[in-house]
Amino acid sequence: MQTAQPSTEPSTQNDSSPKQLTFQPLSEDSAVETRCARTVGAWCVKFHAQTPVPWRPAPRGAVECPDNCNGVGVCNHDTGYCSCRAGWIGEGCKARRTRPCTNHIRTPESESAEPLSHIGPDKRDLNWTELGFRASRCFGVCDDDLGACYCDGPMGRVPAPADAPPGTPPIRRGRPLTHAHDQPKATWDGKPTIGTTDYDKIYGPKGYCNVSEPDWAPSMCSPDDLGGKFCDEPVEAFCPGACSGHGFCDLGFCRCYEGYYGHDCARRKAGLPLQPSDIGQRPWLSSHVREPPAALEPPPQPTRKRPLIYVYDLDPLYNARLLQYRIVQTWCTHRHYHIGNTSTWSATFYGLEAALHEYLLISEHRTFDPEEADYFYVPFYGACMIYPVAGWADYPWFWTPGGPRVMQRRGGRDHIWLFTHDEGACWAPSVIKDSVWLTHWGRLDHDHVSNTAFVGDNYTHDMVNWRQPEGYIKHIKGHPCYDPQKDLVVPNFKSPPHYLRSPLQSTPSKPRDIFFFFKGDVGKHRLPHYSRGIRQKIYKMAMEQDWANTQKSLIGDGSNVHGDYSELLSRSLFCLVAPGDGWSPRLEDAVLHGCIPVIIADRVHAVFDSVLDVNAFSVRVPEADVHRVMEILRGISDIKIRLKQSRLGQVWHRYRYGALPGLRSDLLRNMKLNAHEPLLAEAANNTPRWRVSPPRPFKGDPAVDDAFGTIIQWLHSRIDYTRRPSG
């Protein structure tokens, strides 16, 4: 076993050029000791000490599907069932399931197989001014497969003929008009609508929908595969794993090349020779993903380490079709593409759904054989469904209890679910309560109620309606939000730019001249129970006692605290970690910048609290002692501060995601560039050492023992638990 320690080779460049980082191996014993520093229990050591298992060739199916899935789906040759792209459902993908841009919500009196559409057969709105607000209104031509709106007129959409074969693309796609604020605020004859833009900017003589070089363009391009100044230049769309280089990404849905199948087109039908992946021919893909090792023949190595994880090919409704339905590139994903297929990381709180899915698809721990699998991962994009999709148009509806059924051979204990919702798995159906839950919210109390200040997310306020007459609370009762015996609180996905200024990324050390720091929502315009009142109390004390001047502490939102967030965190000694509407990613922010977390959340496990010695590098303050927080922090001795900083430096890399190829390359580049950045501030001679020497940067490869690696290592320790007989 080897791990990496960097050495610096002599540079032939001038002093301002970044030096080349190389990695030197450690001995096996010292490597394990270093890699398992500050861990709780034996999970880390046991993972590295395990005996690898043979890497067997992937099984392949040969079951045929009816009528080639109607030309709009992908045949799963293991099962003979079709996965259907948006607009189609049912056996063989032969039934239509449209998502018109303008619907009326159905009632018991108007129950039908389809939503009541107010889009006509020509795909245009039947009466733009009478229906009231719908987020997905369309003053143009509707793509009713997706619920996406496009221009009418010379630069507008021309649908395929009504008698064209299923899946026929439009004659002309047209320019998108997706957002309500990009719609006209009045009709041509002056009738008011829900839009906010002058009619002439869109449909006037030099309007966006009428001429090739208009005077106005939307503020944001969508769907995912369009960009450019006027949103009509094609770009790469995001699909997890980039369809393995054996398919075409259709806004999140992989249309596999002939003979390939599976959610990411990684499987090859039995009896057919493997084809080369085209990922290598498209550098914008190869910089982020690779063909899944599990798909290669022969396997890339004779043996591999457990756990072995089978990734379900769910019905696309629960992931791929949600990506198709989204109307903003950054929603539901951890990365996306721009013009020229340059890529960027998405700044979304819920990006781990797609990131972890992609991690597992291209991981060496993936298996296609359910018989040898230790775990089964269920890639259900719950946050994507709840936030940007279900709230945008009337369809899809998710019935309760919904979702895929749990395999009961092991009582569901070997199934893994990810919950990135604000209140984690508190609302999870009880039918999956024995499964492994990866969550951002480590709330421990068994008899819990929702504490969100966002009314629509209140899971203890039952929703009884004609579609769900029995309500849904009965289906989620009887389990805690998180059980440390079987679940794990995992880090939120933070992209490299988020912590670019961190001294742990090799940026030269700056004086930690901010004693206590928090920049974010302090509840000024929230209900009183937001953040359990913690942020509000601390902000009130900071303002009344002028902490900025008397304590050298910055507490507030953007109107109070100014400056680059990463820079401010890098200059801070203590950083507040308090709940928001549920979980908050502030611990990750603190740790990734070398700032000692001050955790105030009773009966809540912090990220990795059950597997790392979090108390060794943090400060915990009971909620009852919030009024004493400054007194408590001022009472911590310099030597204890140094110890906490040192211990933080041993584990901080486990809170970042770095194993995806694109993440690793970005992190390495940042390390090289930062190492040559001039010091931005000098410390005074009498400044305590802990103020100018934050935890040292991680010395190894950013792909080693990152957050994903930590999750995998912990899962290995839980295999015996999943193998217990059910019942």
Please classify residue 431 by burial: count the beta carbons closer than 10 Å to its beta carbon, then call 0-12 exposed, 13-18 middle and 19+ buried: middle
Mean pLDDT, rounded, of the chain: 87
Task: With beta carbons less than 8 A apart as the criterion, state whether 532 and 553 touch.
Answer: no
Helical spans, DSSP H, in 404-561: 534-544, 547-550
Choice among 9-23, 204-218, 395-409 with the minimum mean pLDDT? 9-23
Alpha-carbon gap, residue 41 to 267, rounded angstroms: 38
- What is the per-residue pLDDT for 681? 40
> 4: alpha, beta or left, given left = phi > 0 and alpha = psi -120 to 50?
beta
Determine the 3-state secondary structure of 116 from DSSP: strand
Alpha-carbon gap, residue 327 to 148, rounded angstroms: 7
Peptide bond into 688 cis (omega under 30): no
- What is the per-residue pLDDT for 725? 62
Mean pLDDT of 52-57: 95
pLDDT per position as a tens digit, 423-446: 999 999 999 999 999 999 999 999
CATH number at 504-702: 3.40.50
- What is the per-residue pLDDT for 180? 63
- In one letter, which amino acid is 414? D
Please classify residue 638 by burial: count the beta carbons closer than 10 Å to its beta carbon, then call 0-12 exposed, 13-18 middle and 19+ buried: exposed
Percent composition of the chain: helix, strand, coil (DSSP 3-state, to 5): 25, 15, 55
pLDDT surpasses 80 at 27:
no
**pLDDT confidence band for 223 (50 / 70 / 90):** confident
Bridge-based pairing of strands 116-117 and 103-104 is antiparallel
- What is the per-residue pLDDT for 348? 82
pLDDT surpasses 80 at 570:
yes
- What is the per-residue pLDDT for 94? 95
Peptide bond into 223 cis (omega under 30): yes
- What is the per-residue pLDDT for 576? 98
Share of the chain above pLDDT 90, in %: 66
- What is the per-residue pLDDT for 129? 73
Alpha-carbon gap, residue 380 to 323, rounded angstroms: 12
pLDDT per position as a tens digit, 597-628: 999 999 999 999 999 999 999 999 999 999 99
Q: What is the 3-state secondary structure (H, E, C) of 67-78?
A: HHHHHCEEEECC
- What is the per-residue pLDDT for 33? 86
Of 4-8, 70-74, 476-480, where does the model show the most confidence? 70-74
pLDDT per position as a tens digit, 665-684: 999 888 887 766 554 444 44
pLDDT per position as a tens digit, 375-397: 999 999 988 887 667 666 666 66
Please count the other Cβ atoms lying within 10 Å of the Cβ belonging to residue 358. 24
Could you state, in order of their start, the residue ranges of all structural domains in the chain?
A: 287-489, 504-702
Q: Which residues of 464-482 are buried (b: 16+ CB within 10 A; e: fewer)?
A: eeeebeeebeebbeebbbb
**pLDDT confidence band for 654 (50 / 70 / 90):** very high
**pLDDT confidence band for 262 (50 / 70 / 90):** very high
Task: With beta carbons less than 8 A apart as the criterion, state whether 61 and 268 touch.
Answer: no
Radius of gyration (C-alpha) of the chain in whole angstroms? 27
Mean pLDDT of 132-153: 84
Share of the chain above pLDDT 70, in %: 86
- What is the per-residue pLDDT for 694? 60
pLDDT per position as a tens digit, 151-209: 999 999 999 998 999 999 999 999 998 776 678 888 888 888 877 899 999 999 999 99
**pLDDT confidence band for 5 (50 / 70 / 90):** very low
- What is the per-residue pLDDT for 104? 55
**pLDDT confidence band for 311 (50 / 70 / 90):** very high
**pLDDT confidence band for 11 (50 / 70 / 90):** very low
DSSP bridge partners of 612? 39
Higher pLDDT: 349 or 568? It is: 568
Higher pLDDT: 466 or 158? It is: 158
φ and ψ of 417, to 5 deg: -125, 140
Alpha-carbon gap, residue 671 to 690, rounded angstroms: 22
Task: With beta carbons less than 8 A apart as the criterion, state whether 188 and 203 touch.
Answer: yes
Residue 335's contacts (CB-CB under 8 Å, 6 or more residues apart) are 238, 288, 343, 344, 345, 346, 495, 662
Q: Would you say the C-alpha torsion 253, 254, 259, 262 has a positive or negative sign?
A: negative
pLDDT surpasses 60 at 251:
yes
Mean pLDDT of 329-333: 88
Determine the 3-state secondary structure of 508 from DSSP: coil
Alpha-carbon gap, residue 51 to 39, rounded angstroms: 21
Q: Would you say the C-alpha torsion 365, 368, 374, 375 has a positive or negative sign?
A: positive
Mean pLDDT of 234-241: 95
